[in-house]
Amino acid sequence: MTTICLIGYGKMGRMLHQLAPEKGLKVVGMVDPVWDGAAREISRDSLNNADVAIEFSHPSAVLSNLERLLDLNQNCVIGTTGWHQDLPRIVEMAKSSGIGMVYGANFSLGMNLFSRLIVDAVKLFDGFDDYDLMAWEKHHAQKADSPSGTAVELAKLILENSSRKTKVVWDRLQRRPEAEELHFASIRGGKIPGTHVLAFDSDADTIELSHVVRSRATFALGALQAAKWIAGKSGVYSFQDLIADILC
């Protein structure tokens, strides 16, 4: 049985703890600076010989947590978002350490399959100038980053596969968007777990592709699957690499 240590014991950490036995994993440690019953910091003792550490903390803490896990040669799954501007440096550090690591902007299996549909749709509509592209995402009021890491990744995919859109605009527009600009809006409020929409619009009709999260369990289940997959492995992988491995 794969053993895991949970780094961060907020809503996601507690859901991971709840779902782990159903997926054949055993929680042997928890680390959280404020949660009673959890260790306060990452150490060999708090990791408790876990096969994999799953990190769902906060963007302000993820880099220091990662550096500590690398120092301890701990295989890990990084579920926290809002740190990917530092991804190249972290990937190099992880590769040098020889550990196994899985990272991703979104650990929902459905979202990762959705992103593949997005690529196909953008290519399909690219030759039809009547259709303009736009996108938006909605999340709960407590989400720490905006735009979401998933939105950033989706925008990257759209630009890579569109000959007409070459630039993404995240901010509010107080002018007409240029033809080459993809306007990707963000909304924060309420309890929304997560919604991402890509729309193709013409004078005659609108086609929308959307991914709507009904439960945070989708992220937890993906992270648990990633933990089982990376246990005993070395190398640095995105969650999309895991999906590609399953599809192959």
Task: Kindly name the residue from 138, 143, 165, 183 that is annotated as catalytic.
Answer: 143
Token pair for 220: 């937890």
pLDDT for residue 97: 87
Question: What percent of the chain has a predicted confidence (pLDDT) above 70?
Answer: 100
pLDDT for residue 116: 94
What integer is the mean pLDDT of 98-103? 93
pLDDT for residue 246: 86
Torsion 248-50-90-183 (CA) sign: positive
Name the band, by pLDDT with cuts 50, 70 and 90, for residue 54: very high
pLDDT for residue 216: 85
What integer is the mean pLDDT of 58-66? 87
To the query of whether residue 139 is one of the catalytic residues in this protein, the response is yes
Domains defined for the chain, CATH in brackets? 2-107+216-247 (3.40.50.720), 109-212 (3.30.360.10)
Contact indicator for 122, 161 with CB cutoff of 8 Å: yes
Q: How much is the pTM?
A: 0.81
Question: What percent of the chain has a predicted confidence (pLDDT) above 90?
Answer: 73
* Residue-wise pLDDT tens digits, 179-235: 999 999 999 999 998 999 999 999 999 999 999 999 889 999 999 999 999 999 999
pLDDT for residue 191: 93
pLDDT for residue 80: 85
Q: Coil, helix or strand for 241? A: helix
Distances (CA, A) of 137 to 43, 74, 78, 153: 37, 34, 22, 12
Name the band, by pLDDT with cuts 50, 70 and 90, for residue 149: confident
pLDDT of residue 84 exceeding 80: no
pLDDT for residue 91: 82
pLDDT for residue 230: 96
Of 9, 21, 25, 11, which Cα lies nearest the Cα of 213? 11
What integer is the mean pLDDT of 120-142? 96
Name the band, by pLDDT with cuts 50, 70 and 90, for residue 105: confident
Contact indicator for 154, 198 with CB cutoff of 8 Å: yes
pLDDT for residue 132: 97
Of 120, 126, 177, 186, which Cα lies nearest the Cα of 150? 186
pLDDT of residue 238 exceeding 80: yes
Outline where the chain has alpha helix (H). Answer: 11-19, 44-47, 59-71, 87-97, 109-125, 149-161, 217-230, 239-247
| CA distance linking residue 195 with residue 110, whole number of Å | 12
Task: Kindly name the residue from 138, 139, 183, 228 that is annotated as catalytic.
Answer: 139
What integer is the mean pLDDT of 149-155? 92
Rg (CA), the chain: 19
| CA distance linking residue 84 with residue 89, whole number of Å | 10
| CA distance linking residue 241 with residue 181, whole number of Å | 29
